[in-house]
Structure 1
Amino acid sequence: MTAVKLAGAPISWGVCEVPGWGHQLSPQRVLTEMRDVGVSATELGPEGFLPSNPAQLTALLESYGLGCVGQFAPVVCHDADHDPVPDIAGSLDSLVASGGSVLVLAAATGADGYDARPTLDDGQWATLLGNLDRLAAAAAERGVLAVLHPHVGTMVETRAEVDRVLDGSTIRLCLDTGHLLIGGTDPLQLAREVPGRIAHAHLKDVDAGLAADVQAGKLAYTEAVRRGIYTPLGHGDVDIAGIVTALLGNGYDGWFVMEQDTILDAEPADEGPLRDVRTSVAFMQDTCRSIPV
């Protein structure tokens, strides 16, 4: 059985930075269920979910036997009048204190949510690309690897935009299998084409029918999440096993973070999101058993 570094993320329990996203579970429930389902580490989730005090954060994670992988950080990068480097200072402090190694950047629009985005001109694109390299350098000074997460509803969503980042900056990528597919990129093809630029992976499986409705503008992204666009791994239309195999075959040694974004209407009376996470963990275990050592 091939050993991989498997982590969880609070968004799989519905914990999200978007105002009004849905019912937010407590850190105690999320971390307990994460530990019990068998993952060894977590991304930190949105600002305010876990303690910002580095000592308190480290003690909390250690009390659940969990390590820190990284943190997701939406940052406005395209505005020439805004310096994004100070925006990541708190995240870097938390990562350094808790042993996290990856800052997962998204090129935020500046508005809440992921249902609409502006179009950038060439000057704004030049600013964005330059700032991505500046942010990567600032993170590297603290011993943290910054990666760009192509993400629905941000300034880097489509395959053409991903290619513009690959051609115009040196930052490495977070391969989010779900957001890439919804944005029009084949994540398996990208994994095979630019393995050297991929340094982090978010594993999502996707209902391709709902993804097509989002791409066509028939369905808002948030509503698609509410309807279950992200399925447990192995139950959707993304070749997760093929992607994992391709990455490992090209020397990938980073984390695989399971992320099935969900929206909760209320505190679950039963297992709630844990059921899908457990299914995804079992799928990954089966996948790893089938990959030659």
Structure 2
Amino acid sequence: MPTSLDRLRVGSAPDSWGVWFPDDSQQVPWERFLDEVADAGYDWIELGPYGYLPTDPVRLRDEVDRRGLRVSAGTVFTSLHRGPAVWEETWAQVSRVATLTQAMGARHLVVIPSFWRDDRTAEMIEPSELTSAQWEQLTSGTERLAREVRDRFGLEIVVHPHADTHIDTEPHVRRFLDGTDSGLVNLCLDTGHYAYCGGDSVKLIETYGERIGYLHLKQVDPAVLARVSAEGTPFGPAVQQGVMCEPPLGVPEMEPVLNAAQRLGVDLFAIVEQDMYPCPPDQPLPIARRTRRFLRGCGA
């Protein structure tokens, strides 16, 4: 019998339905996403890109409630390494998402650092490495964001290491964690992105367990990863080539990650994401059903 992973609250997200943007003709309508994520057996969802789901909290609450769903988090994108000049723009976006997140009863904001490639064209728009001054802006700006979000909305931020951002590889993640206050800033560990960038999720959980505040469950196809790494393929095109795959077909092996998270002895959201933008509209639901069945088999 599998170990009971009773500290993990499993959900899914619009990302697993090929949703990357608030409005895109290649994406499934939001009603279909909500219908199918409930059909697949999930209880929790994230908001996804702001504006994809209804932004009126009364309407959204009605839509999720009647499908037996609850919201675990909202998501924001930031460019805090650029310093105070971007604060007002950042806060305008964050406050919109935080207002809806709070209204839906969620407690987390997933914070994704800005890409150093354009997320549609994959064109390189800034250097992939930060200067020391930019690292200071990133860490101090993230702490400021955490304080403001906590004080104004009662939410906790969890920063998401992500491919093609400045918080990606193990050295970058360690530098970020070591440069931020553990009382303010924790991580959303995305197992797929961390593996994509060469990191070991179990090692990170065991080393920085007190900083793991949230999980995204994801796997990468090692054969596709080897090819796109050798060819220097940007993340967006790599996704189109199938670099992210459903468990248990990829890496990291999911059971050790889940067990390591359970051993932390704290309640954690474990939100399934499988980057598939763009994808045929009939592809996500069968994958979601299989993935939920697989996770139940692991005890989650």
- TM-score, normalised relative to structure 1: 0.91
The yes-or-no answer on 1:199 pairing with 2:213 is yes
Q: Which letter does structure 1 place at the counterpart of 2:175?
A: R
What is the aligned partner in structure 1 of residue 76 from structure 2?
A: 73
CA contact (8 A) 2:22 2:52 kept: no
- SS of the residue aligned with 1:184? coil
Q: Distance in 2 between the 1:250 and 1:52 partners?
A: 34
Equivalent residue in structure 2 for 1:261, among 260, 268, 275 = 275
- SS of the residue aligned with 2:118? coil
What is the aligned partner in structure 1 of residue 150 from structure 2?
A: 140
The yes-or-no answer on 1:248 pairing with 2:258 is no
CA contact (8 A) 1:149 1:174 kept: yes
Distance 1:19 1:93, change over 3 A: closer
What is the aligned partner in structure 2 of residue 62 from structure 1?
A: 65
Q: Distance in 2 between the 1:31 and 1:175 partners?
A: 24
- SS of the residue aligned with 2:111? strand
Report deviation, 1:19. Answer: 8.4
CA contact (8 A) 2:20 2:49 kept: yes
Distance 1:243 1:266, change over 3 A: closer
What is the aligned partner in structure 1 of residue 132 from structure 2?
A: 122
Equivalent residue in structure 2 for 1:95, among 101, 118, 121 = 101
Q: Distance in 2 between the 1:194 and 1:94 partners?
A: 30
Q: Which letter does structure 2 place at the counterpart of 1:34?
A: V
Distance 1:44 1:91, change over 3 A: same
What is the aligned partner in structure 2 of residue 8 from structure 1?
A: 12
Q: Distance in 1 between the 2:196 and 2:5 partners?
A: 29
- SS of the residue aligned with 1:228? coil
Report deviation, 1:123. Answer: 1.0
- SS of the residue aligned with 1:146? strand
- SS of the residue aligned with 2:86? coil
Q: Distance in 2 between the 1:193 and 1:166 partners?
A: 11
Q: Distance in 1 between the 2:187 and 2:232 partners?
A: 29
- SS of the residue aligned with 2:21? coil
CA contact (8 A) 1:7 1:41 kept: yes
- SS of the residue aligned with 2:113? strand
What is the aligned partner in structure 2 of residue 275 from structure 1?
A: 286
Q: Distance in 2 between the 1:128 and 1:212 partners?
A: 30
Deviations 1:193-225 (A, max 9, x none): 111100100000111122233334432222221
Q: Which letter does structure 1 place at the counterpart of 2:247?
A: L
Q: Which letter does structure 2 place at the counterpart of 1:11?
A: D
Equivalent residue runs for 1:175-254 within 5 Å: 175-254=189-268
CA contact (8 A) 1:11 1:259 kept: yes
CA contact (8 A) 1:183 1:215 kept: no
Deviations 1:16-54 (A, max 9, x none): 13887x711011111001111111010001121011222
More displaced, 90-99 or 226-235? 226-235
What is the aligned partner in structure 2 of residue 112 from structure 1?
A: 118
Report deviation, 1:78. Answer: 0.9
Q: Distance in 1 between the 2:225 and 2:80 partners?
A: 26
Report deviation, 1:288. Answer: 0.6
Q: Distance in 2 between the 1:178 and 1:29 partners?
A: 25
> What stretches of structure 2 of length at least 5 have no aligned partner?
none
What is the aligned partner in structure 1 of residue 41 from structure 2?
A: 38
Q: Which letter does structure 2 place at the counterpart of 1:9?
A: A
Equivalent residue runs for 1:159-174 within 5 Å: 159-170=170-181, 171-174=185-188
CA contact (8 A) 1:76 1:110 kept: no
> What stretches of structure 1 of length at least 5 have no aligned partner?
none
Report deviation, 1:251. Answer: 1.2
CA contact (8 A) 2:76 2:112 kept: yes
